[in-house]
A and B are shown apart, each in its own frame.
Chain A
Amino acid sequence: MQKIMRLLVRFFRQEVRNSNVLFSLGLYLLGVSYLIYLLSGSTPSDSAWNTLLWVVVFFGSVQLSSRSFEFESGSYFYYYQTIATAKHTIIAKMLFNVSYIMLLSMATWGLFSVFFSNPVYNTALFFIGLILGATGFSVVLTLTSGIAHRTKGNATLGAILAIPLLFPVLQLTSAINLQAIVGVTLTDAANVLGTLVALDMGIGLLAYLLFPYLWQD
């Protein structure tokens, strides 16, 4: 646990040192949100609002995760192997990506509220949907960017591998968020929420078990 915390602190420090990455992500969000605002011309319908939000978050997360392992390339890869085991690395990376994607989706939600007003009726359910969605995204994207990193191939490979795998998580999450917009109560949404929690836990465990096979030479 302590080791995971130390790794996590390390990842955040690296991120702060490379603050231009965070800045460019913010600029992407602002640019895309404003683009949608310009093109749509009016407030989109509830389902269109939800769809656009998830498209923006989706591509932002894929973009974000594509450089998930950029500090572990070359000789740094061997250095990391001496300071942390594969299982610690994957957990720390997943936690790091969850917080990052969470930040991304909250920022998108904020920007959309500014440009198009906020149609969300059940804020608690919407927020839970975001957390569960970010968790699922983080699990899939961490594993696929690890795979893309190990092939030392092109940057698009990570996106090719991740996009079809993200659809189940994306579909469930956007369904939950649409329910939150319409105003379904927490108890009525329990069925979909339960499915998404089970899916997140299942793929999280699977990624945890598979990652050590990836993280060796």
Chain B
Amino acid sequence: MKGSIYKVLGVLLVVYSLIYGLLTKVPDMPIIEESIRNLFYHVSMWFAMVAMMAASFWNAIRFLGTEDLAKDRRSISLAEMGMFFSFMGLFTGMIWAKFTWGAWWTNDPKLNGTAITILIYLAYFVLRNSMDDARKKARISAVYNIFAFVMMIVFIGILPRMTDSLHPGNGGNPGFNSYDLDNGLRIVFYPAVIGWILVGTWIASLRYRLKALQE
């Protein structure tokens, strides 16, 4: 019972953000119009992805310290979940980009960062599938996971701030903070982020248990 509180909370928050995100009053802005509601669905995916990848990174470090294969199973389950969120973020973003910027894909630092992140973690899955010995696989992929996470943070967190971007808050475009001071967006956005992270953790834990049973 105790362990299921976060699952219930996660589902409630996600359902709340999905429904209330469509009903709530949003600021009236040119070009972006009602599509600003995508903030709740698109941006929360990225927050959830970074949280999943960070947890995967942390479990990889703990595996190298303890040599405990359970940590490795957690690490891969969380990385798979993070990958799912990054694809969802990509698709919701592409739809949003088509209606506000006029193209499915633009040469924007954040989009490049996403493409690289997906390539890095696909390479991580390829690496895992190329080995049989469980212990060796866990150790080598943990090394790659740690290195890859740091590179991903550099690419999505540091480099975009040095160049112009179409995204809010970069290169002269104002951030959302200057618009959403009515807090109308915040009371949906933050619960959405927390809800998706909790649901992601839940699914990852199910995958983790499935892997433990398979071995």
Within the assembled complex, what's the spacing in Å between the Cα atoms of A171 and B130?
29
B154 and A150 form a contact (CB under 8 A):
no
> Would you list which residues of chain B between 107 and 149 have a CB under 8 Å from chain A?
112, 116, 119-120, 123, 126-127, 130-131, 136, 139-140, 142-144, 146-148
For the complex, is B64 an interface residue (Cβ under 8 Å from A)?
yes
How would residues 143 to 156 of chain A score, 1 for a CB under 8 Å from any chain B CB and 0 otherwise? 11001001101100
> Would you list which residues of chain A between 127 and 152 have a CB under 8 Å from chain B?
143-144, 147, 150-151
Contact of B130 among A151, A167, A199, A206 (CB under 8 A): A151
- Nearest Cβ in chain B — how far from A76, in angstroms? 19
For the complex, is A164 an interface residue (Cβ under 8 Å from B)?
yes
For the complex, is A32 an interface residue (Cβ under 8 Å from B)?
no
Within the assembled complex, what's the spacing in Å between the Cα atoms of A203 and B150?
8
Within the assembled complex, what's the spacing in Å between the Cα atoms of A213 and B19?
48
Contact of B120 among A153, A164, A191 (CB under 8 A): A164
Within the assembled complex, what's the spacing in Å between the Cα atoms of A206 and B142?
13
B interface, by DSSP: helix, strand, loop or mixed?
Answer: helix
Known: A206-B150, A210-B143, A214-B139. A192 touches B119 (CB 8 A): no
B151 and A165 form a contact (CB under 8 A):
yes
Q: Tell me how many residue pairs across A and B have CB atoms closer than 8 Å.
A: 69
Interface residues on A, range: 20 to 34
A interface, by DSSP: helix, strand, loop or mixed?
Answer: helix
For the complex, is B213 an interface residue (Cβ under 8 Å from A)?
no
- Nearest Cβ in chain A — how far from B133, in angstroms? 10
- Residue picked from A153, A161, A211, most chain B C-beta under 10 Å: A161
Interface residues on B, range: 20 to 34
Known: A147-B143, A199-B154. A164 touches B123 (CB 8 A): yes
B147 and A213 form a contact (CB under 8 A):
no
Residues of A within 8 A of B136 (CB): 150
Chain B's closest residue to A162 (CB) is B123
Chain A's closest residue to B139 (CB) is A213
Residues of A within 8 A of B206 (CB): none
- Nearest Cβ in chain B — how far from A14, in angstroms? 25
A195 and B155 form a contact (CB under 8 A):
no
B162 and A213 form a contact (CB under 8 A):
no
Residues of B within 8 A of A172 (CB): 159
For the complex, is B158 an interface residue (Cβ under 8 Å from A)?
yes
B150 and A202 form a contact (CB under 8 A):
yes
B126 and A165 form a contact (CB under 8 A):
no
Q: A147-B144, A191-B162, A213-B64 are in contact. List 13 more A-B contacts (CB 8 A).
A: A143-B143, A150-B140, A151-B127, A151-B140, A153-B130, A157-B126, A157-B130, A163-B119, A167-B116, A168-B159, A195-B158, A210-B147, A214-B143
14 inter-chain pairs at a CB distance below 8 angstroms, sorted by A residue, are A144-B144, A147-B144, A150-B140, A161-B144, A163-B119, A165-B151, A168-B116, A168-B155, A199-B154, A202-B150, A203-B151, A206-B146, A206-B147, A213-B64
